[in-house]
């Protein structure tokens, strides 16, 4: 297996020598052999196939795509069409890069926050620690998680035996099952007698009408069969929202589920969050498991916020890169891979290159409507603002190019969309590239930023389309 040592672009040459002369690691990703490598891959690395006498370049990952670059047996071996476009002056790779942020990325968050580590375990990041999140099932890295601030309104989120949880025809055994966090944190819900049973909590909220709430929790099956419903209702039981039946996962398998409900105008004070098993004909002693109950005001589920005796708030993630020699004054292009997991605004932001609050270029992407948008603001007036379908809710590959009277947006290799009239802001050393948020800090990505490349030129439409294919 080939190993790699990462050298941050900000590291002085003298400090890089230890990695360069380390015989146990390399700083290049080149490979030679009778097959393509499958581990420790880095986009654009090369592989010389000794059995074919051909040179390939890794042009895509997951699945891996190796593109022919040169055939030593051919009269004209170099395939110029497959070479990368102009070199980016800024490259941020949060999926295939190191397990930490590049030094030039400034990051802050005024609280702890949860995410999945490389082993698929739910863990807690310290304040100001970025979260490179993972899929708990596949352990694949998803990218840099960027979220707005949220508050878990439910108390004792994992110990459901506490008195704050109202129990109907059931009892709770705390710390009865290994939880997603790797600790004995799962609560077992035991039915006391045959018939309906449920567990819930009421939070104090004056005039909740018109507000949207999201209830989420991890489920695991036990001896009880069937499904559960997640219920949100007002304090007088006059306005009730109920999820469809949610099948209990198999024993030993945790699954996080959620339900969102907008309280109608005039709803009574307070809000109730209830887990209600559908099977009312079971027997005494039937049980299932719960972990990590979360009730939050918002249109979607966010990352888990543990609570004990009081509600808890997760602060927003703020990440940016200061402009510098990598930034061009009046033209440029950005290629970005990212995914909005949940729309909490009309235009969740992938990135914003900000000269001032009224002079910027930016790109946004939605999860529900599956649109990608491109905007340029100069002198507080939009010079361009257009969107195009992404055709997929999975991570989008999008590129935005700008110059005076020349704007173009491309998504997932589709035909470019152009706007040929408008003025471009002037970017300087005081400008900043904001990751996953807009200039007003109101439109957060609430998802994953995977890759971003900045080019100090307005690339051609064809070059941008090739980048996103």
DSSP characters over 29-55:
--EEESS---SS--TT-EEEETTTTEE
Instruction: Find the Cα–Cα–Cα–Cα dihedral 425, 430, 433, 437, rounded to 10°.
Output: -90
Domain boundaries, the chain: 13-83, 85-147+316-469, 152-314
Strand partners, 147: none
CATH number of this structure's domain 85-147+316-469: 2.60.120.200
Asked if domains 85-147+316-469 and 152-314 share a fold, the reply is: yes
Residue 237, number of CB atoms within 10 A of its CB? 9
409, 420 in Cβ contact below 8 A? no
- Is the pTM higher than 0.75? The answer reads yes
* Cα distance from N-terminal residue to C-terminal residue, the chain: 30
Strand partners, 277: 228
- What are the DSSP calls for 256-291, one per residue? EEEEEEEPPTTPPSSEEEEEEES--S--TT-EEEEE
173, 191 in Cβ contact below 8 A? no
357, 443 in Cβ contact below 8 A? no
Instruction: Please give the chain's pLDDT, 469 residues, in tens.
Output: 344 444 444 444 444 443 344 333 334 446 678 899 988 888 888 888 888 888 888 888 888 999 988 877 665 544 444 445 578 999 999 998 888 888 899 999 999 999 999 999 999 999 999 999 999 999 999 999 999 999 999 999 999 999 999 999 999 999 999 999 999 999 999 999 988 999 999 999 999 999 999 999 999 999 998 999 999 999 999 999 999 999 999 999 999 999 999 999 999 999 999 999 998 888 899 999 999 999 999 999 999 999 999 999 999 999 999 998 899 999 999 999 998 887 666 789 999 999 999 999 999 998 878 899 999 999 999 999 999 998 765 789 999 999 999 999 999 999 999 999 999 999 999 999 999 999 888 899 999 999 999 999 999 999 999 999 8
Q: What distances in angstroms separate CA 322 from CA 53, 210, 353, 428, one per listed residue?
A: 44, 40, 10, 10
Distance in angstroms (rounded) separating the CA atoms of residues 24 and 27? 11
Distance in angstroms (rounded) separating the CA atoms of residues 403 and 387? 18
384, 374 in Cβ contact below 8 A? yes
Which residues are within 8 A (CB) of 4 and not within 5 positions of it... i.e. 6 or more apart?
Answer: 25, 26, 27, 29, 40, 42
Which residues are within 8 A (CB) of 426 and not within 5 positions of it... i.e. 6 or more apart?
Answer: 329, 330, 355, 359
Strand partners, 219: 255, 290
User: 152-314: what CATH class?
Assistant: mainly beta
55, 69 in Cβ contact below 8 A? yes
Which two three-digit tokens encode residue 217?
Answer: 């929790």
420, 386 in Cβ contact below 8 A? no
Distance in angstroms (rounded) separating the CA atoms of residues 229 and 208? 21
């Amino acid at each position: 297996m080939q190993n790699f040592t990462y050298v941050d672009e900000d590291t002085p040459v003298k400090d890089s020598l230890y990695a360069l002369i380390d015989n146990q690691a390399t700083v290049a990703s080149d490979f030679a052999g009778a097959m393509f490598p499958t581990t420790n891959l880095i986009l654009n690395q090369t592989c010389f196939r000794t059995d074919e006498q051909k040179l390939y370049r890794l042009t895509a990952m997951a699945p891996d795509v190796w593109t022919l670059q040169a055939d030593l047996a051919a009269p004209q071996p170099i395939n110029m069409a497959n070479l990368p476009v102009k070199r980016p002056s800024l490259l941020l790779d949060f999926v295939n890069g190191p397990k930490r942020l590049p030094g030039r990325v400034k990051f802050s968050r005024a609280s702890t926050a949860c995410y999945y580590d490389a082993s698929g375990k739910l863990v807690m990041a310290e304040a100001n620690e970025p979260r490179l999140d993972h899929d708990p099932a596949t352990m694949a890295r998803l990218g840099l998680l960027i979220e707005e601030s949220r508050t878990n309104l439910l108390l004792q989120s994992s110990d459901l035996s506490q008195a704050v949880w109202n129990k109907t025809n059931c009892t709770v055994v705390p710390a009865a099952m290994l939880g997603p966090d790797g600790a004995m944190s799962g609560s077992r819900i035991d039915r006391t007698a045959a018939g309906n049973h449920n567990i819930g909590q009421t939070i104090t909220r004056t005039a909740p009408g018109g507000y949207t709430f999201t209830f989420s929790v991890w489920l695991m099956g036990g001896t009880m069969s069937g499904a559960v419903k997640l219920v949100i209702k007002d304090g007088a039981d006059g306005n009730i929202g109920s999820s469809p039946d949610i099948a209990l996962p198999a024993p030993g398998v945790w699954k996080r589920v959620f339900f969102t409900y907008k309280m109608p105008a005039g709803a009574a004070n307070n809000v109730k969050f209830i887990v209600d098993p559908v099977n009312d004909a079971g027997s005494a002693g039937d049980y299932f498991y719960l972990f990590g109950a979360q009730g939050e005001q918002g249109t979607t589920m966010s990352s888990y916020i543990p609570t004990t005796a009081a509600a808890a708030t997760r602060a927003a993630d703020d990440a940016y890169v200061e402009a510098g020699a990598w930034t061009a004054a009046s033209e440029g292009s950005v290629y970005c891979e990212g995914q909005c997991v949940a729309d909490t605004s009309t235009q969740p932001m992938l990135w914003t290159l900000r000269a001032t609050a009224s002079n910027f270029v930016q790109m946004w992407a939605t999860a529900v409507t599956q649109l990608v948008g491109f905007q340029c603001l100069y002198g507080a007036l939009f010079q361009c603002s257009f969107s195009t379908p992404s055709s997929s809710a999975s991570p989008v590959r999008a590129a935005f190019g700008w110059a005076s009277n020349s704007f173009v947006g491309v998504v997932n290799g589709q035909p470019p969309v152009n706007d040929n009239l408008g003025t471009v802001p002037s970017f300087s050393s005081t400008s900043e590239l904001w990751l996953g948020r807009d200039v007003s800090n109101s439109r957060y990505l609430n998802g994953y930023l995977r890759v971003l490349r900045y080019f100090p030129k307005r690339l051609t439409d064809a070059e941008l389309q090739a980048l996103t294919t």
